[in-house]
Amino acid sequence: MAKMVEATDPHATWATMGRAKLIKIFLSGLVVGILTYALYVVLERFVFDPILCREGVALARCETKDDFAAGLALLLGSMGGLVLLVRQLVYRPIMALLGVVVSLWGVFALVAALPWFVALIIIALLFGVAYTLFSWLVQPTSLYVSLAVVVVVAALARLVMTV
């Protein structure tokens, strides 16, 4: 019996990502955001604070504990995020993750003054939106178009976060 193969337009790849796949990617981003925030809190309070803020240690080292915790939490959370993006069959998952990490690099400093539950909700939503956005932006068949769009959007996100 013959199989019917439907040809798709390779330049219409943005149209191939269905609503269900986008929702799954958003939920994966929410999970990664929650886990990354939890990692940040644990690393900051129980690892870097005791190590860098002991008596007799320079004050400059203690001021950087938040940066160390945020960077390490983002990197560890991104490893889990990569697994989730690969399981969702996202095209170019590493490029999507690089866009997420670059655009959300200083996000923990922005929510540091908020109560933890508000910060958790904001972080989770930001990660969910970022994962969905960058997973969608890497879909064009041209690597150069994907790379250019990811770089521009990540740069715009960095500009917004520094203002």
List per-block mean pLDDT (blocks of 10 residues) for the chain, which spans 163 residues. 62 67 94 96 87 70 83 94 92 93 91 92 96 92 89 93 79
Reduced to 3 states (helix: H, G, I; strand: E, B; else coil), residue 126 is: helix
Answer yes or no: is 134 within a domain: yes
Boundaries of domain holding 101: 19-162
End-to-end CA distance of the chain: 62
On whether residue 112 sits in a domain, the answer given is: yes
What is the number of structural domains in the chain?
1
pLDDT at 129: 96
pLDDT for residue 15: 53
pLDDT value of residue 135: 93
Inside any domain, residue 8: no
- The answer to whether position 7 is within a domain reads no
112: part of which helix (H) or strand (E)? none
CA–CA dist 138, 49 (Å, integer): 38
In a domain, 1, yes or no: no
In a domain, 9, yes or no: no
- Say how far apart CA 22 and CA 44 lie, in whole Å: 32
Query: Domain for residue 75, yes or no?
Result: yes
Q: What is the pLDDT of residue 143?
A: 87
